[in-house]
Amino acid sequence: MEIYYLTIKEAIGGLKKKSFSALELTKACLQRIKLIDKKLFAFLTIDESRAIEKAKEADRLIRKSTEAFRTKPLLGIPIGLKDLFTTKDLRTTAGAKIIKDYIPPFDATVVRKLKEAGAIILGKTNEDAWGHGSSGENSDYGPTRNPYNLDRVPGGSSSGSGAALASGECLMATGTDTGSSVRLPAAFCNLVGLKPTYGRVSRYGIIAMASSFDTIGHITRTVYDNALALEVTAGNDPYDATSSSIPVLNYASFLEKKIKSLKIGFPKEYLVEGIDKSVEENFYDTIKIFEKLGAKLKKVSLPHTEYAMACYYILVPSEVSSNLARFDGIRYGGERNLFGAEAKRRIMLGTYTLSAGYYDAYYLKAAKVRRLIKQDFERAFAEVDVMIAPSSPSIPFKIGEKIDNPLQMYLSDVFMCPVNVAGVPALNIPSGFIEGLPVGIQIIGPHFKEELLYQVGSAFEQETKFYQIKPEI
């Protein structure tokens, strides 16, 4: 297997044994980008010279002592950053042309932590502009394509991160998840994607979409890699008042724990008319695997699920309209006519629901429903340890298939948005292939119980090993 397809765990093992150098690993990824990214359009900006310089620094540290990995757990690992992540002296566009020339003077907290952990930043990945989308088609620079089928979407909005990792252009990539945007590209690209508990990872330096929903996650090839990355990025940040001071655990230490006797729920409201028959069958096959592993499966109820999408698409556009108001062409950014169609749609929706005479009828009512949805999850977790659900009601759809039907596009997040409304963590793991295309399930847990997600996800991953199936590109 080519070194650009290694897991982080495998790559660190190879670096320690001197099987290859960080420079060789970095150059392999950069060469891979040059070879295939014209087909995928996963990257918007490449920082080649700085990546090579950092790889050489990593090799010097490793030559001195492999003990360097104790303080720098991602030393020599090439990664991609979603272009919502502010990066000092490296162009940051949020996938939008209105700030196409923005060069930030500082790093986001997560970027700083990744750099301190020794990760090598290859560049910035493509995305739906401002994070608005489920497919990657709303980028102002052009859509990203799914490496398993170039005619299909890779999921969004962290589309470039998913496609880049799946195709061997990097060994890990970051994302943001406001309604699905880490988990859906992970599901559509056969990867592991974490939406952590709201406040588990600092939002400082991430260009905001909807501030009370935004969570900062990452996409990896395996559950172990994901747990390792969260150990680096999680924690309280004095620059983000919404970040939690709950201690960060050694998440990787939970991966060998058995799931026998764990209670796993599946919401009856998620298996309803409209889900693809093949996706439903895949989910029931998944349930059988968990039962084989000794878990106790139980049907649970989230009674306000039917209102979750309406609630989400009132509250989120309201916050979007507020956050994008700063880009007025005077204080920040270019002219407002550079906003794409989806950004304009969300600004108008949000402005309408916040306007005099409509605030009580829409926004306030949606805020109350948000509390009810959160309570649904709390009651369910009183009965079970975690819940599982399909990540998407369909397989990856064709590029252009839903672009003229925003409502249909929004419904691709129907199983994921309730998790963001409730603020709980969820982990997508690969659950197989349908018609040659990846599908995933999400494991949902109580607030700040990411270790449970990793424990359950690792047991399933070790049993199935779907992550080993690579795209032919």
Those residues with Cβ within 8 angstroms of residue 181's Cβ, 6 or more apart along the chain or in another chain:
128, 131, 134, 156, 157, 158, 175
Give 97-155 as a 3 state SS string. Answer: HHHCCCCCCCCCHHHHHHHHCCCEEEEEECCCHHHCCCCCCCCCCCCCCECCECCECCC
- The residue from 135, 158, 181, 431 that is catalytic is 181
In this predicted structure, what is the pLDDT of residue 412? 79
Q: How far is CA 214 from CA 21, 179, 316, 381, 419, in A?
A: 36, 8, 10, 23, 12
**CA-based nearest residue to 92, from 80, 108, 104:** 104
Q: Is 101 exposed, middle or buried (0-12, 13-18, 19+ CB in 10 A)?
A: exposed
CB 144 within 8 A of CB 80: no
In this predicted structure, what is the pLDDT of residue 48? 98
Task: Give the mean pLDDT of 419-427.
Answer: 98
The answer on pLDDT for 2 being more than 90 is yes
Q: CA-based Rg of the chain, rounded to a whole angstrom?
A: 21
Distance from the first to the final alpha carbon of the chain: 14
| Six token digits for residue 51 | 């990546």
Cα 188 from Cα 195, distance rounded (Å):
15
At CA 127, angle to CA 399 and CA 174, rounded to 5? 125
Q: pLDDT tier at 295 (50, 70, 90 boundaries)?
A: very high
Task: Give the mean pLDDT of 74-100.
Answer: 98
- The residue from 27, 54, 72, 82 that is catalytic is 82
In this predicted structure, what is the pLDDT of residue 228? 98
The answer on pLDDT for 77 being more than 90 is yes
Q: How far is CA 216 from CA 66, 425, 473, in A?
A: 30, 11, 29
In this predicted structure, what is the pLDDT of residue 311? 97
| Six token digits for residue 1 | 């297997």
In this predicted structure, what is the pLDDT of residue 405? 82
The answer on pLDDT for 271 being more than 90 is no
The answer on pLDDT for 404 being more than 90 is no
- The residue from 21, 134, 139, 157 that is catalytic is 157
Active site residue 278: no
Q: pLDDT tier at 113 (50, 70, 90 boundaries)?
A: very high
In this predicted structure, what is the pLDDT of residue 385? 98
Cα 19 from Cα 5, distance rounded (Å):
15
Task: Give the mean pLDDT of 242-271.
Answer: 96
Q: pLDDT tier at 321 (50, 70, 90 boundaries)?
A: very high
User: How many residues make up the chain in this entry?
Assistant: 473
In this predicted structure, what is the pLDDT of residue 413? 87
Those residues with Cβ within 8 angstroms of residue 340's Cβ, 6 or more apart along the chain or in another chain:
96, 129, 132, 138, 140
CATH topology for the 3-307+366-468 domain: Amidase signature (AS) enzymes (3.90.1300)
CB 146 within 8 A of CB 102: no
Q: Which residues pair with 432 in a beta bridge?
A: 439
In this predicted structure, what is the pLDDT of residue 207? 98
The answer on pLDDT for 408 being more than 80 is no
Those residues with Cβ within 8 angstroms of residue 328's Cβ, 6 or more apart along the chain or in another chain:
336
What's the pLDDT tens digit per position in 366-394? 999 999 999 999 999 999 999 999 999 99
The answer on pLDDT for 112 being more than 90 is yes
Cα 3 from Cα 23, distance rounded (Å):
12
**CA-based nearest residue to 36, from 140, 145, 124:** 145
Task: Give the mean pLDDT of 71-82.
Answer: 98
| Six token digits for residue 403 | 């672009």
Active site residue 82: yes
| Six token digits for residue 190 | 């056969």
Cα 158 from Cα 175, distance rounded (Å):
5
Weakest-pLDDT range from 15-29, 35-49, 294-308, 354-368? 354-368
362-378 in b/e form (b: 16+ CB < 10 A) is bbebbeebbeebbebbe
Q: How far is CA 405 from CA 344, 391, 400, 401, 411, in A?
A: 15, 21, 10, 8, 10
Percent of the chain with pLDDT strictly greater than 90: 93
Say what angle helices 308-323 and 365-380 make with each other, to 10 degrees.
Answer: 120
Backbone phi, then psi, for 63, in 5-degree steps?
-65, -35
| Six token digits for residue 390 | 């399909």
Residue matched to tokens 């620079």: 141
Three-state DSSP class for residue 85: strand
Mean pLDDT of the chain, nearest integer:
96
